[in-house]
Amino acid sequence: MAIILGIDPGTTDVGFAVIEVEKNQRNILTYGVIHTTPKISQSEKLVEIMHDLKDILQQNKITHAAIEKLFFSTNLKTGIDVAQSRGVIMAIIAEQGIPIMEYTPLQVKKALCGNWKAEKKQIGRAVQLLFRLDAIPKPDDAADALGIAYLGSMNPALFLK
């Protein structure tokens, strides 16, 4: 059995999802968004993300993590802020000895939708179908994290022992 943490990094909102994989069955244990306080400094946001992520790790027996890579940013400041958030997230996960798998947004779109140019709504719909949910998970960051966790669950290395 594997318990996978999926992370869609950000600064204002960080999407997270925890899924359990056993005998090719994938079940959602929890998902949501780490919200940071508006209008505080970047360093304070990073501390909030750190504390909330540590809580998520303590509440779940994570065996593996999957996180979205930074692929491209048209806004340099936003890209740097997200990179800092991603660094804090990866350090916290690595500190716990949890292996980390990294996927670009294009890899996630292609794996879930079969289309490199899939839009947020298509990702949400794919996640809804893959996990047999009644509705598309909200918000988008949480749906993305579920998709990232699902892609991580497809990694054959999880099942080699």
The pLDDT assigned to 115 comes to 87
Q: What is the pairing mode between strands 25-35 and 13-22? A: antiparallel
Q: What is the mean pLDDT of residues 26-50?
A: 96
DSSP assignment letter at 142 = H
How many domains does the chain divide into?
1
Give the amino acid at 137: P
Q: How many CB atoms lie within 10 A of CB 67?
A: 23
Q: Is the dihedral of CA 86, 15, 23, 61 positive or negative?
A: positive
> Which one from 8, 13, 20, 81 is the annotated catalytic residue?
8
- Spatial CB neighbours of 35, under 8 Å, sequence gap ≥ 6: 12, 13
Residue 134 annotated in active site: no
Range of the domain at 108: 2-159
pLDDT digits (tens, 9 = 90+) for 85-119: 999 999 999 999 999 999 999 999 999 999 888 89
- pTM of the shown model: 0.93
Helix (H, G, I), strand (E, B) or coil at 26: strand
Q: How many CB atoms lie within 10 A of CB 122?
A: 15
> Which one from 13, 68, 81, 144 is the annotated catalytic residue?
68
Residue 95 annotated in active site: no
> Which one from 13, 81, 141, 144 is the annotated catalytic residue?
141
The pLDDT assigned to 160 comes to 54
Residue 68 annotated in active site: yes
What CATH number should be reported for the domain holding residue 81?
3.30.420.10
112 neighbors 93 (Cβ within 8 angstroms): no
